[in-house]
Structure formats: structure tokens, C-alpha cells
Amino acid sequence: MSSSASLRASLGPLGFGGAPLGNMFRTVSEAQAEETLHAAWDAGIRYFDTAPVYGTGLSEHRFGHALRTRPRDEFVLSTKVGRMLRPNPASSGDFGPFLSGLPFDVEYDYSADGARRSVEDSLQRLGLSRIDIVYIHDIAEDVHGAGWKPLFDSAMEGAARALAQLKAEGVIKAWGLGVNTVEACERALAQAEPDVFLLAGRYSLLNTPALDTLFPACQARGVEVVVGSPYNSGLIAGGTTYNYREADAHEVAARDRLAAIAKTYSVDLRAAALQFCEAHPVVASVIPGTANPGRVAENAALLKQPIPQDFWKALKAAELIPSQAPVPAGAQ
């Protein structure tokens, strides 16, 4: 799975991001979560990503419940390490943007032993015997602050080495980082041999810091990128949040400029957002998250919706996306 061709082929252009099914920002019923995951399968999605911190285990439980009856070789599953869940009967299950999760506390642990234990715990929560890709989660400045680099370096000595060994043993097929910053990925390339990055919100119609240095470095190394949060956690899709917080006026105005050009060319901005991310050759898959069953099929259709080349030319002419950014071949 570490080769460029096999990873892209196995993931497919559209995957499913599991944060919303951990009750991100709002609670989701068990029935709705199951229906959403079944809708993803019915839409042809075969790559599913989750993490222990999403609802302190809740997302993993829900993924396992929906996927364990599916043929295991027909889908790819990724989860993450770096946070251990500790049982606490007094816990409300609230952690960060996740509401009413399972009764566990969260403890950071980027050690080698912690990574191995985390993988074993995830297998138990999922009720599955195999995880395909494991990401070291949130080992970056946005989560750990200005002093993140020593912690990052220790994670490369600990969790990264453990995951590389698990890959060598055949326990997992690939490993990398699951982060929201470009710098963490670039630092990982300098210190280790990751297979793939899950980079959220840093390559989108509104935000392209990955384009100039990270993506070329990944191409040179044969490392692919899964793009998370292609709608920047909702703003591009008409919501009010940008990268997991309320959008400011400048960000809303940037979205509105994109939307105005999209309207001129009768383009659904969500389709443009997905297709823009998927068009870069280093991108193996795009994984929007949702807890809405209907939205899953909608995303699949949006990824295939024809978009005229003049629309992309207009975005570049208005300097809303970089001139060097690849765009879909699409309709003429």
C-alpha cells in the first residue's frame, strides 16, 4: 500500500471522515450514524477514517458496528494514535468539539508502547481484526502550542518507529500523520519514512499552504496525501465554521467571492471544492465528513459533476486560487 499507485487505487477518490460520527459539534443518534455509514457504502465509498478521540471512542464503535459485517478485504480503514482513552465513570464524554461521547478521559501518549497499545485498543473498539492505515494524530503546533517540536521529535522516536515496525510485521499496511498543519508533515519527511499524510483544511479552495513546498516534497518521496476537511469544516459548503471554529468576516468574504463566481458559471461550490482537492496528483483521496445519510450520496455526485474550464480560469484570474494549482480537466 505504500506505493503511489496502490494507495490511490485502494482508497478511491472519495472517502468518509469519521469526526461527525463522534458527535462533533452536535449529537448523532446510533440509528443515524449507522444509516450514514451504510449510505457511504451504498455510494461506493470504500475508505473510512476514524480516531479514538472522536467522541472518546464513539466514532470507532460506530464504524465497527457498521463495517464488521462487510467483507474485510473490500474496504480500507484508518485510525490514529497519540491519545489514550482512560475509563472514568464520572466523565461526561465531552472533549473539545465532541459532545456526549463514551465515559473516558483523554491522555496524550506518543510513545512506542502507547502507539502499540492504542492500535490494540482501537481493534477492540472496532471489533475488527485489522487496521490498514494508522496516523499519528495532532502532533503539531495547533494542538500542542509553541513547544510542539520536542514533543514531535519524541513521537518520531516513539510512535513513528512503532508504526514502522508494525508495518514491517504486516500488522498495518501504511502509516503517517493525521494533522492540520503543513509544517508537521514537512518535519516528518525530514525525520522518518511515512507513507501517507492525512492533512485537514490545508489544501482547499480557501486555503492552499500545502501547495508550494509540501506537495512537491511528497511527490519526490512517493508519499501521498489524504485531504481532510475539503469544505474547511463547513464554510465552503454554506456553513459558519472554518477549520473547526466560527469563521471570521474575512473568511466569510473569501467564501462569498468564490460563491459569486460559482453562481456566474452555474457551478455548485461544493463540487468545485471536492474536485479541486482531488485534482492534485499527490492527493490519494478526499474525505469529507458528515452525519447526514443524504449528504453522502450528494458528495459522491458532486465529485463527478461537470465543471467548465472557464470557471477555473476565472478563479485564477481573480487570484482566488493559485495560478499553479492543478484543476480538473473537466468540461470545456
Nearest-5° Cα angle at 117, 82 to 193: 55
How far is residue 156's CA from residue 126's CA, in Å, rounded to a whole number? 26
Nearest-5° Cα angle at 237, 227 to 317: 80
Residue 33 Rama label (left phi>0; alpha psi -120 to 50; beta): alpha
Residue with cell 456553513: 239
Active site residues: 54
Residues in CB range of 257: below 8 A, 6 or more apart? 318, 320
